[in-house]
């Protein structure tokens, strides 16, 4: 699996398993756990989660899935903004580590800006990194202005920014993504299939048929072809977990990229950052 470099020099895989909305129903837990375990069996090298997902239950599912594995995947988790004070961030990280059953989180993110002062959150991130509780840190749902604020506090170590970015929601491509690419800060694209809507898009279906892949694979391949872009599709279905991994084998020609641009026009100006 290809990887990209974090500002610290560490390598982060370009494709991982998402877990948003896992852990919200006890009836679906077995299915969700099976999907994560299956993804690891297929070779997914990264899992993204958060203390918000199922109020910690998603982290528990991940912890159960990776328990006893000789080579555990790259783990990303996130702290709630209301927990992101100087002391609260440290305490939240300790709780996440316990639920995950690991000693260190590979990339720990502030889920979105709000609540605690950013200075406090970053101070806590530096403390956690120095203590070996996290390897790298970053943010989520930050627009360019927020990233510029973060750059004044992160000592050059802000590892990533996880935002809503996909073919049908291309706003970050106008100014946020170029700003991040210039500084070699990877963009993590969440909801890369726009909550499943892209998989049934007529234009994408037609282009995917021309390429010889599924619409979901084409949408993911479009993201993965961009320098410094990582994505984390979520699925509780074995079939979809396997299908998404197939995006790594999709080759995009300039003609297909141009067709995608016609079907999903890039932004012509700055847009407000979207959140789901």
Residue 230, H or E segment: strand 229-231
Domain carrying residue 125 = 3-196+228-237
Residue 165 resides in a domain: yes
Residue 33 resides in a domain: yes
Residue 127 resides in a domain: yes
DSSP class of residue 212 equals: T
Residue 244 resides in a domain: no
Task: CATH number of the domain at 123, please.
Answer: 3.20.20.100
Residue 211 CA to residue 194 CA, distance in Å, equals 21
Q: Decide: pTM greater than 0.95.
A: yes
Residue 272 resides in a domain: no
pLDDT class for 1, splitting at 50, 70, 90?
confident
The DSSP secondary structure of 130-181, one letter per residue, reads HTTSEEEEEEES--HHHHHHHHTTSTT-EEEEEEE-BTTB-GGGTTHHHHHH
Helices 238-245 & 29-42 angle (0-180, nearest 10)? 30
Q: Do 49 and 36 form a contact (C-beta atoms < 8 A)?
A: no
C-alpha radius of gyration, the chain, whole number: 18
User: Quick one: pLDDT at residue 187?
Assistant: 98
The DSSP secondary structure of 47-78, one letter per residue, reads EE--TTGGGGHHHHHHHHHHTT-SSPPEEEEE
Percent of the chain with pLDDT over 70: 100
Count of domains for the chain = 1
Residue 268 resides in a domain: no
For the stretch 216-236, pLDDT in tens is 999 999 999 999 999 999 999
Residue 246 resides in a domain: no
For the stretch 130-172, pLDDT in tens is 999 999 999 999 999 999 999 999 999 999 999 999 999 999 9
DSSP class of residue 119 equals: H
Q: CA dist 179 to 107, 176, 184, 228, Å?
A: 21, 5, 9, 11
For the stretch 62-101, pLDDT in tens is 999 999 998 999 999 999 999 999 999 999 999 999 999 9
Residue 133 resides in a domain: yes
pLDDT class for 115, splitting at 50, 70, 90?
confident
Q: Which residues contact 23 (CB under 8 A, 6 or more apart)?
A: 29, 32, 53, 54, 55, 56, 57, 58, 59, 60, 61
Does the active-site annotation cover 53?
yes
Q: CA dist 216 to 171, 235, 246, 250, 274, Å?
A: 20, 12, 10, 11, 21
Catalytic hit among 53, 80, 165, 190 = 53
């Amino acid at each position: 699996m290809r990887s990209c470099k974090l500002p610290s020099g560490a390598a982060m895989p370009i494709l991982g398993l998402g877990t948003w909305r896992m852990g919200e129903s006890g009836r679906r837990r077995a299915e969700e756990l099976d999907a994560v375990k299956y993804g690891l069996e297929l070779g997914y090298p990264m899992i993204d989660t958060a203390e918000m997902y199922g109020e910690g239950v998603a982290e528990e599912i991940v912890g159960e899935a990776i328990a006893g594995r000789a080579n555990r995947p790259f783990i990303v988790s996130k702290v709630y903004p209301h927990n992101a004070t100087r002391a609260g961030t440290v305490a939240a990280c300790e709780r996440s580590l316990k639920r995950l059953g690991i000693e260190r989180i590979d990339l720990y993110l502030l889920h979105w800006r709000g609540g605690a002062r950013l200075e406090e959150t970053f101070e806590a991130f530096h403390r956690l990194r120095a203590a070996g509780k996290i390897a790298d840190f970053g943010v989520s749902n930050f627009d360019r202005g927020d990233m510029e604020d973060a750059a004044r506090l992160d000592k050059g170590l802000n590892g990533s920014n996880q935002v809503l970015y996909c073919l049908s929601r291309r706003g970050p491509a106008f100014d946020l993504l170029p700003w991040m690419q210039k500084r070699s800060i990877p963009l993590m694209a969440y909801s890369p299939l726009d909550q499943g809507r892209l998989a049934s898009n007529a234009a994408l279906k037609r282009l995917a048929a021309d390429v010889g892949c599924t619409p979901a694979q084409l949408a993911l391949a479009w993201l993965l072809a961009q320098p410094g872009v990582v994505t984390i599709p979520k699925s509780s279905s074995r079939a979809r977990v396997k299908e998404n991994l197939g995006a790594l084998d999709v080759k995009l020609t300039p003609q297909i990229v141009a067709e995608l641009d016609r079907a999903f026009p890039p932004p012509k100006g700055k847009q407000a950052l979207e959140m789901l």
